[in-house]
Amino acid sequence: MSVFLMSPWRTFCAYVMSFNVTISVHPFCIYECFCTNDSYVSHYILSLLRKCCNIIFESCVNCQGRSFDMKDTLIKYIKRHGSSFAVIATAICLSALTYAPEAAYTVKEVIGIETSGEAGHASPPEISAENAILIDADTGIVLYEKNADEKAYPASTTKIMTSLLAIEKLEELKSPLDQEVLIPSDAAGIEGSSIYLEAGEKVRIIDLIYGAMLRSGNDAATALAIIIGGSEEEFVRLMNERASEMGLSGTNFTNPTGLFDENHYTTARDLATISKISIKNGTFREVSASKEYKAERDADKYNYFYNKNKTVHQYDGGNGIKIGYTEKSGRTLVASAEREGKTLICVVLEAPCWFDDAYALLDYGFSQSM
């Protein structure tokens, strides 16, 4: 069963109807269970189902109208969110089976999980991204790749290098990250995402780093470049120098923000390498993993940064690292997650369903060691 972007109510109905496909239970059986007035359990299950629908509806929004299989989406979220989502799914199924016991199936038949036949060897997922790679962050082993060496545009995932370089330079100088700096006029009013810096404003460097990484502030990234490098041009030179030190051959930076430029490009493989090195830095890792942050700015300033990278909010074990978007670059995402001591890094570029792609790849990667 496939659905397109629709109202929350229609998504709710489509979700209920999907069980007719999944477990051959007539949807009215589920509806009857939900509407039973003398059972508080039914109302509890209904509230859980609504929570499910919010997650599914968000998937519709993420895919921007691109069709996807509702049953597969349910399976994916059961795997991703673990026991909490499994409880919801089980409650729904059990409620339905109470009214249609002849429809009882095994768990395997209900969720229809497909593998290659060997435990820990699930088939690679189909993804929307034009370029992608999945690596083990500790060993560097590539678990999946798709056009990983093709030229692509990173958008704001550029700020991974910007932030790492700023942190490294300050560490070299043994300069404190909480020092206050004056915002240069050239950093104020930069187009795109912003933390609304004002020329001459005093801001701590660590707040600029959080602003660049969580809020994806172009003004914060530009301020870091000018303050650390002396000029934006010099900082960009340092970015390319650092890329060369990392052994990257398919990357060139022209700005610290990721705003589109034909000569500002990378590859999925190079971006994975940058990310692998970045998360080894303790300060960077802490920033990247943060779900939210409050900057020490005046009360009338924009000082609350909510991490736009939904991986840290949604994905089980998600701990970084950066999203990006421009009209010409498309949606870009570097996502990392850790489970049972194993850390994976996923890069998806020009990915209409960026988070779904990343989560599917991470699920696949973790399944290889299960």
Give the three-state DSSP class for 198: coil
Cα gap 210→297, rounded to integer Å: 13
Cα gap 15→20, rounded to integer Å: 10
Q: Locate all alpha helices (DSSP H) within 214-251, ordered by sequence.
A: 218-229, 232-245
Distance of alpha carbon 76 from the chain centroid: 15
Cβ pair 228, 234 in contact under 8 A = no
pLDDT of residue 209: 98
Q: Where are the beta strands (DSSP E) in the chain?
A: 2-3, 68-69, 131-136, 142-146, 180-182, 202-204, 292-294, 304-306, 318-326, 330-339, 342-349
Question: In the structure, how many helices (H) and strands (E) does the chain have?
Answer: 14, 11
Phi and psi based region of residue 281 (left: phi greater than 0; alpha: psi -120 to 50; beta: remaining):
beta
Cα gap 360→370, rounded to integer Å: 15
Q: Is the pLDDT of residue 8 over 50?
A: no
Write out the two tokens for 191: 């187009």
The percent of residues in the chain predicted with pLDDT above 90, rounded, is 64
Cβ pair 307, 214 in contact under 8 A = yes
Before 321, cis peptide (omega within 30)? yes
User: Best-predicted range by mean pLDDT among 34-43, 104-113, 133-142, 299-308?
Assistant: 133-142
Lowest-pLDDT range, 1-5, 50-54, 178-182, 345-349?
A: 1-5
Write out the two tokens for 23: 């477990």
Angle of the 83-99 helix axis to the 8-22 helix axis, nearest 10: 70
Q: Where are the domains of the chain?
A: 2-111, 131-367
The matching CATH number, chosen from 1.10.1660.10, 3.40.710.10, 1.20.120.160, 3.50.50.60, for 131-367 is 3.40.710.10
Backbone phi and psi for residue 122, each to the nearest 5 degrees, phi listed first: -65, 155
Q: Is the pLDDT of residue 58 over 70?
A: no
pLDDT tens across 179-198, in order? Answer: 999 999 999 999 999 999 99
Write out the two tokens for 198: 């004002």
pLDDT of residue 185: 96
Give the three-state DSSP class for 63: helix
Cβ pair 145, 203 in contact under 8 A = no
Write out the two tokens for 212: 């660049």
pLDDT of residue 302: 86
Cα gap 30→250, rounded to integer Å: 54
pLDDT of residue 299: 74
pLDDT of residue 298: 79
pLDDT of residue 281: 98
pLDDT tens across 26-56, in order? Answer: 333 333 333 333 333 334 444 445 445 455 5
pLDDT band at 6 (very low <50, low <70, confident <90, very high): very low
Write out the two tokens for 199: 């020329």
pLDDT of residue 301: 85
Question: DSSP assignment of 96-112, as one string?
Answer: HHHH-GGG---HHHHH-
Strands 131-136 and 304-306: unpaired
Q: What is the mean pLDDT of the chain?
A: 78
Lowest-pLDDT range, 85-99, 175-189, 258-272?
A: 85-99
Total residues found in the chain within this entry: 370
The residue among 57 and 366 whose pLDDT is bigger is: 366
Give the three-state DSSP class for 295: coil
Cα gap 93→85, rounded to integer Å: 12
Residue found under tokens 């009360």: 299
Residues with a catalytic annotation lie at: 156, 159, 216
Write out the two tokens for 251: 């990357």
Before 56, cis peptide (omega within 30)? no
Nearest residue to 164 via CA among 90, 73, 256, 227: 256
User: How many other β-carbons are positioned within 10 Å of the β-carbon of residue 216?
Assistant: 28
pLDDT of residue 368: 87
Give the three-state DSSP class for 293: strand
Range 160-179 average pLDDT:
97
pLDDT of residue 274: 99
Cα gap 215→307, rounded to integer Å: 6
